Amino acid sequence: MSETLAVEARGAIKEFGQGENAVRALDNVSVGIRQGEFFTLLGPSGCGKTTLLRLIAGFESPTSGQILLHGEDITGLPPNKRPINTVFQSYALFPHLTVAENIGFGLQMLGKPKAEVTARTEEMIRLVKLESMAGRKTSQLSGGQQQRVALARALAPAPKVLLLDEPLSALDLKLRKEMQSELKRLQTETGITFIFVTHDQEEALTMSDRIGVMSGGKILQIGSPREIYAHPTNRFVADFIGETNFLTARIRDGKALLGGGVEIPLATARADGQATLAVRPEHVRVLPKGMEGTLSATVTNSVYFGTDSYLHLQLLDGTEIVARQQTDPAGARGPETGAVVGVTFPPAAVQVLED
């Protein structure tokens, strides 16, 4: 993957309305998306991710700021002049046309020679593995097959960037998981920069090279899926991505001081003072009660999920945390509800969050 930036937003602000009624959908967003990467904008509804996508596509103009494509300012360029295509939640296929006719339609509108349209259409049909359905009307296809047609149609003109606005949201769970793998395969095989918008953390973690987590019109953190999950920088990111336990602690001399006099060494240096710690459930260690260096906790509930069990625990100060434990293959049961246990965390698993 190239370090060259395919798309860049510089200080992008987007406001809808005027005066006191103005709503700021994007608040001074700056981000660089690399050539050939699968970049995901992740966040809850109303966070600004689709607005940023529309600025890149040219469907909206920023109130201020710039949008660049390979270093060229395209802020004022209309959508049809940008080498960018978009796949929406609604695939907008022509039901009276065949798969091949749908895929080739955009190329025909661009005035491409008939032989080129035919060759490129056949190439795209092979890419999305719909050879046996090339002559079938799109109204006769399943949801997943229709999505493949929409992707093939968007990829046919060989855009420099493909924008995807929650294209999997209408599919059922099993098909959605299959299409996650398909999307990543298509992006890898074509080498085209994909910018994907979703509120689904699993989609983001599964497919992305990098993720930009958004909230309130801002990008709060950018990183690889592993970085975002293992090293969230603030409480929103830690809470939005996966399940997280939060604990209040005092940082002193490179250690986190918890209730009951328990000290946990920190993997990285932090300034002294009050702090919020984040620990993933799978990193919570449950030990026999009374062991040195553990927090005393009471099991309030145990939930069996087959491969895992979730222990719901309450610390002495009332803080509730969850421990995720892999099921014992020998069938041994974990602590029962009401049992008192000891709890501790590996230093590398403890993240100190920003305010």
Tens-level pLDDT at each residue, the chain (355 residues): 557 999 999 999 999 998 888 999 999 999 999 999 999 999 999 999 999 999 999 999 999 999 999 999 999 999 999 999 999 887 788 889 999 999 999 899 889 999 999 999 999 999 888 999 999 999 888 888 888 898 899 999 999 999 999 988 877 888 888 888 888 988 999 999 999 999 999 999 999 999 999 999 999 999 999 999 999 999 999 999 989 999 999 999 888 898 777 888 887 778 889 999 999 999 999 999 989 889 999 999 999 888 888 999 999 989 999 999 988 777 677 888 999 999 999 888 999 987 6
Per-residue CA distances from 257 to 111, 265, 266 (Å): 69, 9, 10
Measuring CA to CA, which residue among 70, 81, 84, 77 is closest to residue 32?
A: 70
Give the 3-state secondary structure of residue 184: helix
Q: Phi and psi (nearest 5°) for 108? A: -65, -40
Delineate the domains of the chain, giving CATH numbers in brackets: 5-235 (3.40.50.300), 243-353 (2.40.50.140)
Tell me how far apart the alpha carbons of residues 349 and 331 are, in angstroms, rounded to a whole number.
28
Tell me how far apart the alpha carbons of residues 173 and 179 are, in angstroms, rounded to a whole number.
10
**In terms of C-beta density within 10 A (0-12 exposed, 13-18 middle, 19 or more buried), how is residue 209 classed?**
middle
Give the 3-state secondary structure of residue 223: strand
Give the 3-state secondary structure of residue 268: coil
The single-letter DSSP state of residue 153 is H
Residue 170, token pair as written in the block = 């209408």
In sequence order, the 6+-apart residues with CB closer than 8 A to the CB of 313 are: 284, 286, 297, 298, 299, 300, 320, 321, 322, 323, 341, 343
Residue 282, token pair as written in the block = 């799978």
Tell me how far apart the alpha carbons of residues 315 and 249 are, in angstroms, rounded to a whole number.
13
pLDDT, residue 355, reads 61
pLDDT, residue 64, reads 97
CA 91 to chain centre: 21
Relative to beta strand 23-34, strand 340-344 is: unpaired
pLDDT, residue 44, reads 95
In sequence order, the 6+-apart residues with CB closer than 8 A to the CB of 236 are: 213, 215, 220
Contact 16, 23 (CB under 8 A): yes
Instruction: Write down the pTM of the prediction.
Output: 0.88
